[in-house]
Amino acid sequence: MLNRQADSLIWLARMIERAENNARMLEVYYAESLEEKASYWESLVAVTGDVALYRQQYKNVDSLSVFEFLSFSDQNPNSIYCCLHQAKENALVAREILPNEIYEVVNSFYLVVRTCAQKLQGKSPLEFLHLVKKRSLLFQGMVEAILPQNKGWAFLQLGRYLERADKTARIIDAAVGHPKSHQENLWLRVLLSVSAYEAYRREWCGRIGAREVTEFLVHQADFPRSLSFSVAHALEAADKAFQNGAQVVEPIQLLEHLDQQLRMTAIEEIERQGVHNFLQSFLSENNKVGDAVNHTLFRGPSTA
């Protein structure tokens, strides 16, 4: 496998995961709060890190503008449309590695979103967002069902879980800064946006609060969208993707360190540091993994 193909597999997975995460967040807010304050809608944009770009393109913060920006804007590189365009381009680079069925799933996913971007054709925003989620899950299911679990599969997994860890951390962080009024409703939305409500209820029978939800989404090792789960699976994928005899490459070392940090940092310590500070540190370390992956692929392996 060529290194550029490995890189394309990582970004193929990241872009589809990113598109799905946008759809998840928008779906929750549309279902719950079309008349919500501008600050709540802006928090959705903050999760993607694109507040400055949004303000350049839109005068007001409202449900329709945020939906357009996060779904269809060709000026927003993190919109669902742009993510799927990038996914299609990366799938093309890795064409000879991907089975035909998977390539067609990616290509048709992009074409459907492009059509919806031009005209929703009678579909409500919620119908479109549900379609994005279903298509993303179809891609993930096809990868698990028919792709040999070799290095190509490992690079896809690595991209998926690096992206998922990033987004879960950003979702928690966006909620942390909100006023304390209506906290239970806010943290309910956090759980719903990562499909964690039922799993959370099985672990926590009491109220839905900032401390409890943060601990669950950071430490719950068996929940697929928690930080602990995502980092552990990214580490497994990196081990497989970068198998190189006795040499341990930098992405593996960084992920091992991040995994250990999550295991050893209790919720009390997170609160002592400040949840925002903890999450910003996590995001920085997670980004370093992505940089190290790129360095290893294109400049050769190194140790951390």
Q: Which of 50-54, 148-152, 242-246, 300-304 has the lowest mean pLDDT?
A: 300-304
Q: Which residue has the higher pLDDT, 93 or 304?
A: 93
Q: Is the pLDDT of residue 303 over 90?
A: no
With contact defined as beta carbons under 8 Å apart, do 29 and 63 qualify? yes
Rounded to whole angstroms, how far apart are CA atoms 66 and 61?
7
Burial class from Cβ neighbours inside 10 Å (0-12, 13-18, 19+) for residue 222 reads: exposed
Q: For position 186, what pLDDT does the model report?
A: 84
DSSP class per residue in 183-229: HHHHHHHHHHHTT-HHHHHHH--S---HHHHHHHHHH-TTSTTSHHH
Supply the pLDDT for residue 304: 46
CA torsion angle 280 284 287 292 (round to 10): -160
Say if residues 231 and 258 touch (Cβ distance below 8 Å).
yes
pLDDT tens for each residue of 152-202: 999 999 999 999 999 999 999 988 877 665 677 889 989 999 999 999 999
Between the alpha carbon of residue 59 and those of residues 28, 37, 39, 56, 272, the distances in Å are 24, 15, 14, 8, 38
Tell me: the pLDDT tens digits for 117-150? Answer: 877 655 678 889 999 999 999 999 999 999 999 9
Mean pLDDT of 21-41: 76
Round to whole Å and give the CA distance between 103 and 246: 34
Does residue 302 carry a pLDDT above 90? no
Residue 294, token pair as written in the block? 């790129």
pLDDT category at 1 given cuts 50, 70, 90 is confident
At 164, which helix (H) or strand (E)? helix 151-176
Pick the more confident residue, 126 or 229: 229
Separation CA 292–CA 303 (nearest Å) = 10
Q: What would the two tokens of residue 233 be? A: 């699976």
Q: Determine the Cα angle at 285 with ends 289 and 194, to 5°.
A: 90
- Cβ proximity of 83 and 73 under 8 Å: no
| Residue position matching structure tokens 């006023």 | 179
